[in-house]
Amino acid sequence: MAKKILFLDLDGTLLNDRKEITDGNRRAISEALAKGRRIVVTSGRPLKSSLAQARRLGLAGEGCYVIAYNGASIYDCSSRREIFRRTLEWEVLYAIFDEARRREVYVQTYDREDVVTEQEERVENARRYCSALGLDYRVIGDVRRDVSAPPVKALFIDYRRREPLESMERWLRTALAGRADCFFSSPYFLEAVPPGMNKGAAVIELCRHLGIDAADTAAAGDEGNDVSMIRAAGLGVAMANAVPAAREAADYVTQRDNNHDGIEEVIRKFML
């Protein structure tokens, strides 16, 4: 039986390495939508960027949903509102920024949809990140004073070395156990999110909202932050270019990678 809904990661999965959707993927998505299947953009990106991509791909109309911030936000495109949102505790956020400053590791968070950081000396990280995702950023003086709403996550970035991020990951798992979860969403990004928040939890939450059995779903991804949704879906798919953890969690690994219509392969094999 064809799956009714497909949860799709963006970077490294639906999009190629140039951040574009291939012609084959686009055609297959159109065919799936015409047959009444649902496709949900499911990304670690902020909601603003995830929505922009969904609109560009024609996946932001009636009956469409977007999962952003690695599962901490679910947006109903029909009603144009969030139907689910979880945030970090203020004290957790403050501890994260204090430790990052002590270790001289770059960290940013989000004030509404804008990227904010205290680290003006490392603002190139924010500039590079926001340029790729079409976001705005600003440097603030103090996260305790200058962030107006509880954020959904914090993001550590190091484009040169992984070891500082791995060290920060170990600290997070020990110092903030039970108060925040963490995982890598790319070789350069370490995410800190509310406990229990991940793409897999969002898959289950949206299925509950829609009254769809998780067994009737498929999910495709390529990175460590996709493992939870690969496991949560009725059919978990890892891309040919996926990291080992995603491949090991998957029921199916594509023959084609994200640069060669890998999602078209998934849709034609399991959705049509």
pLDDT tens column, 143-198: 999 999 899 999 999 999 999 999 999 999 999 999 999 999 889 999 999 999 99
Give the pLDDT score at 270. Answer: 96
pLDDT of residue 5: 95
CATH number for the domain harbouring residue 151: 3.30.1240.10
Confidence bin at 98 (pLDDT 50/70/90): very high
Tell me: do 98 and 170 sit in the same domain: yes
- The per-residue pLDDT of the chain, averaged, comes to 94
The span from the first CA to the last CA of the chain, in angstroms, equals: 9
CA distance 271 to 32: 7
Residue 68 pLDDT exceeds 90: yes
pLDDT at 83 > cutoff 90: yes
Other residues' Cβ atoms within 10 Å of the Cβ of residue 243: 20
Read out DSSP for 212-247? --GGGEEEEE-SGGGHHHHHHSSEEEE-TT--HHHH
In the Cβ-directed half-sphere of 36, how many Cα atoms lie within 13 Å? 2
Lookup: tokens for 66: 């977007």
Q: Which residues contact 106 (CB under 8 A, 6 or more apart)?
A: 100, 117, 119, 122, 125, 156, 157, 158
48 and 122 co-located in one domain: no
Q: What pLDDT shows up at residue 91?
A: 97
In the numeric block, which tokens belong to residue 40? 């949900």
Does 170 lie in the same domain as 265?
no
- Of 136, 159, 193, the residue that ends a domain is 193
Contact present, 232 and 198 (Cβ < 8 Å): no
Say if residue 66's pLDDT is above 90: yes
Strand-pairing partners, residue 40, are: 7
Write out pLDDT tens, residues 224-252: 999 999 999 999 999 999 999 999 999 99
Examine the domain organization and report whether 54 and 131 are in the same domain.
no
Q: Are residues 104 and 147 in the same domain?
A: yes
Residues 110 and 189 in one domain: yes
Q: Are 166 and 219 found together in one domain?
A: no
pLDDT digits (tens, 9 = 90+) for 102-143: 999 999 999 877 899 999 999 999 999 999 888 999 999 999
CATH of residue 16's domain is 3.40.50.1000
Same domain, 176 and 235: no
Q: Which residue range is the domain that position 201 belongs to?
A: 5-85+197-270
| Predicted pLDDT of residue 61 | 85
Which residue among 193, 220, 239 closes a domain? 193
Report the C-alpha gap between 178 and 181 in whole angstroms.
7
- The total domain count for the chain is 2
- In the predicted structure, residue 1 carries a pLDDT above the cut 80: no
What pLDDT shows up at residue 58? 86
Say yes or no: 38 and 15 in one domain: yes
CA angle 34, 35, 38 (to 5 degrees): 85
User: Do 174 and 81 reside in the same domain of the chain?
Assistant: no
Considering the domain architecture, whether residues 70 and 102 belong to the same structural domain is answered as no
Nearest to 107 by CA among 41, 188, 14: 188
Is the pLDDT at 100 greater than 80? The verdict is yes
- For 40-64, what is the mean pLDDT? 89
Looking at the structure, do residues 171 and 129 belong to the same domain, yes or no? Answer: yes
Domain boundary among 173, 193, 213: 193
